[in-house]
Structure 1
Amino acid sequence: MINSDDLRFFRIIANHSSLAATARALNVTPPTVTQRLQIIEQKLKLKLVERHARQISLTDEGLLLAERARLILAEMDDLHEVLNSQQHEISGCLKILAPLGFGQEYIAPLVTEFQGQHQSLSVELELSDNPDWSSGHAWDIMIYIGELRSSSLKLSVLAANRRFLCASPAYIARYGQPETPADLRQHACIALRENAEDVTMWRFTANGSDKQEAVRINPRLASNDGRVIKQWALAGCGIIQRSEWDVAAQLKSGELVRLLSDYQLPSADIVALLGTDLRARSARTSKFLELLKERFVQQPWNQ
């Protein structure tokens, strides 16, 4: 008979692409992971994992076990928290996924503050600009910025966030400013590759109009790291499309200049995605969500 430790161990395997990656996550050797997996399979008399050259895939039985393990472990964690709540204590493990740059700047400080207020709570914060949506339910809260086409997760808006087109004064002095979106085809544009968006299609809406104009850019430079493209723009390498939270300080200081201000880009609200509805949500998740809303409604990047 398998136990809760076996379920937690198998959930870690299910969330990684290989047994070697699982070993790194657990800080153990790959043979240790293989041996423990074999013991679980022997207990169940089932094959749970197909081993390939450099990766693994779950069998149908493995997929079923991973999903049921998620539900069982969530129930166990919630039960533990309910029991602790009798002592007015927030505990358990809060799992958060956030974008890399925004997570470093704004989420990580709130995590340490929140954990400091609740000493029985542990927090796992993963930062990624290319999250694995298939494992979305493995997280209590996912912070998302950008165009969200579809999701089965619950959405809670944390803050409005506009997108701006901008460049450095040095770039403008050398190449001039675009007067219309179509002029961008003659400029050096820089693309940020994130969230599987079509990052070379820039869409504009003239102020006071509902008509959208789309321009396909041919980026001179592209990166999956927002910090890199901002540094390129600051260095005068080209024009970027970037979130208000990231460039507000540089626009205020004059290091960057907003372009095509007579047009609006699609907004990219900062939202929290949650795997459960309000009634089933744990206290640790609800309280952290309250903290996020309290802080971000003030838009600290504009202070």
Structure 2
Amino acid sequence: MPHDINDLRFFVTITESGSLAEAARRLDVTPSAVSQRLQQLELHLGTQLAHRSTRRFSLTEEGELFHAGAVALLADLGALVDTVRERSGDVAGTLHVCGPLGFGRHYLAGAIADFHTQHPKLMVSLTLSDVVSAAQANRFDLIVHIGSLLDSSMVAYPIAPNSRLVCASPRYLARRTAPREPKELAQHDCIVLRENHEDVTLWRFRKRRTEAAVRVPAILSTNDGEVAREWALEGKGVIVRSEWDVAESLASGRLVRLLPDWRLPDADVVALIASRAGLSARVKLFLSFLQARFKPQPPWRQ
């Protein structure tokens, strides 16, 4: 057995960091100190846990086994501590949350600040990223996600409704006639957002029982939603954006909704959690807080 629980936390940290240099940054020590501690752990266990070089770090078969066991043991320990604290009415520890960049800045950051005010003993770590791999997902207690779900192993809890809307600015519409049917978008200047590994130039519409799919010409593309919206506001072209992001611009008249009788696939806001079983008290509290915050209507529909 390792000397203490800190050995397990150490090994999980360096594994999830992907390199000794990144692990050293997260642990606030030197890379040589990380390497030395890893060597001591391997000597104690009597086996090599990882292959490492200056740029590469990968686990051996024994390292994979040890990492999986360490993650499970730390999760069980965390759940046990949470259960004891919950019985005493105390919620503490660290809550690791991930969310999309734009939505995170506009809505999630403020929600976390208010949640922390209610639970000051709780530490909250927020990571904003529009791309989260399956391996990275394991680092978080809860991931706020918008749009289609790619990882079916995670459980999705509803947070707020969110539609996708086709929009353009009055400046653009002054020089181009607004489309009356989705197929007409093929002749328009379109701005596309690269996200969630979707086919971003294929826009799918539905009107009652009628479906339409159109391949749009992407005159501009970006992986940043705010950039796409700004381009549209400047009159560069037509965009498809989440309701939460364009509601204010639509209300002020800076953007105009196109094809209002046609619907695109919804992109509801959900919370992704690894499993239904064994949710800690802090995760349950934060999930309930988020769900209540966006009811009965989210801010973009008020």
TM (norm. structure 2) is 0.94
Sequence identity (%):
46
TM superposition shift of 1:12:
1.5
Q: 1:106 and 2:107 equivalent? A: yes
Q: How does 1:211-290 map to 2 (within 5 A)?
A: 211-277=210-276, 279-290=277-288
Equivalent-residue separation in structure 1 for 2:136 and 2:122 (angstroms): 23
Of stretches 91-100 and 1-10 in structure 1, the one that deviates more from structure 2 is 1-10
TM superposition shift of 1:151:
1.4
1:190 maps to: 191
Contact 2:204/2:264, CA 8 A, preserved across alignment: yes
Equivalent-residue separation in structure 2 for 1:183 and 1:52 (angstroms): 55
- SS of the counterpart of 1:35? helix
- Spell out, residue by residue over 1:167-192, the C-alpha distance to the aligned partner (whole angstroms, 9 max, x if none): 11111112221222222222111111
Q: How does 1:139-178 map to 2 (within 5 A)?
A: 139-178=140-179
Long gaps (5+) in structure 1: none
TM superposition shift of 1:276:
2.3
- SS of the counterpart of 2:247? helix
- Spell out, residue by residue over 1:51-96, the C-alpha distance to the aligned partner (whole angstroms, 9 max, x if none): 2563322222222222221111111112222222232101111111
1:67 maps to: 68
Equivalent-residue separation in structure 2 for 1:58 and 1:191 (angstroms): 39
TM superposition shift of 1:218:
2.7
- Spell out, residue by residue over 1:11-49, the C-alpha distance to the aligned partner (whole angstroms, 9 max, x if none): 122222322222223333322222222222222122222
Q: 1:205 and 2:206 equivalent? A: yes
Say if 1:204 and 1:84 are closer, same or farther in 2 by CA, change over 3 A: same
- SS of the counterpart of 2:97? strand
Of stretches 125-134 and 148-157 in structure 1, the one that deviates more from structure 2 is 148-157
Equivalent-residue separation in structure 1 for 2:185 and 2:53 (angstroms): 46
TM superposition shift of 1:150:
4.2
Q: 1:133 and 2:134 equivalent? A: yes
Contact 2:229/2:239, CA 8 A, preserved across alignment: yes
- Spell out, residue by residue over 1:155-214, the C-alpha distance to the aligned partner (whole angstroms, 9 max, x if none): 1111111000101111111222122222222211111111111112111112x22x3221
TM superposition shift of 1:290:
0.6
Say if 1:50 and 1:218 are closer, same or farther in 2 by CA, change over 3 A: farther
Equivalent-residue separation in structure 2 for 1:235 and 1:49 (angstroms): 52
* 2:264 partner letter: L
Say if 1:212 and 1:64 are closer, same or farther in 2 by CA, change over 3 A: farther
Contact 1:249/1:302, CA 8 A, preserved across alignment: no
* 2:106 partner letter: E
Contact 2:168/2:235, CA 8 A, preserved across alignment: yes
* 1:288 partner letter: F
Q: How does 1:57-96 map to 2 (within 5 A)?
A: 57-96=58-97
- SS of the counterpart of 2:174? helix
Q: 1:179 and 2:180 equivalent? A: yes
Equivalent-residue separation in structure 2 for 1:236 and 1:32 (angstroms): 55
TM (norm. structure 1) is 0.93
* 2:267 partner letter: A
**Misfit runs of 4+, over 6 Å:** none
- SS of the counterpart of 2:35? helix
2:290 maps to: 292
Of stretches 29-38 and 122-131 in structure 1, the one that deviates more from structure 2 is 29-38
Say if 1:53 and 1:216 are closer, same or farther in 2 by CA, change over 3 A: farther
Kindly report the root-mean-square deviation, in angstroms, between the aligned alpha carbons of the 2 structures: 1.6
- SS of the counterpart of 2:197? coil
Contact 1:96/1:124, CA 8 A, preserved across alignment: yes
- SS of the counterpart of 2:130? coil
* 1:293 partner letter: Q
Contact 1:248/1:301, CA 8 A, preserved across alignment: yes
Equivalent-residue separation in structure 2 for 1:53 and 1:203 (angstroms): 47
Say if 1:179 and 1:52 are closer, same or farther in 2 by CA, change over 3 A: farther
Equivalent residues, number: 300
